[in-house]
Structure 1
Amino acid sequence: MELELSPHNARILDSLLKTETIIIKISENIIIQELSDSKSLLIQITLFPLFFTEYLQNDLNFSFSFSTPKFFKKGMKSLRIVITDLIISLSWKFNTYNYYKEIYISSTELYSLDFNEIKSINLDLVLLFEIIKYLKSDVIVLKFLENYFIISGENKSEKAVVYMENNFNEILKFPQKNIKTILELMTDTDECMLSIDKLKKTACFISKFPEYLLSIFTALL
Structure 2
Amino acid sequence: MDGKVKEEVNRLIHEKRVVDASHVLHIVNGQALYDVFKNESVLDYSHLIPFNEAMCVNETTESISSPAFIQMRAKGHNSSVDAYKKLVTDYLEPLQKEQYAFIYLWFGEDMFCQINVLTLLAYLEQIGYGGSVQLNVFDEKEFQVETVDIMLGNYERVYREVLVHHEASSEDTYPLMNRAVGIYLELLTEPNRITEYIKKNRELSDKDLLQKLFKKFDYIGYGDSQYMDLIKEISS
- Shared fold (TM-score, shorter chain, > 0.5): no
Q: TM-score, normalised by structure 1?
A: 0.27
Q: Which has the higher helix share?
A: 2
Q: TM-score, normalised by structure 2?
A: 0.26
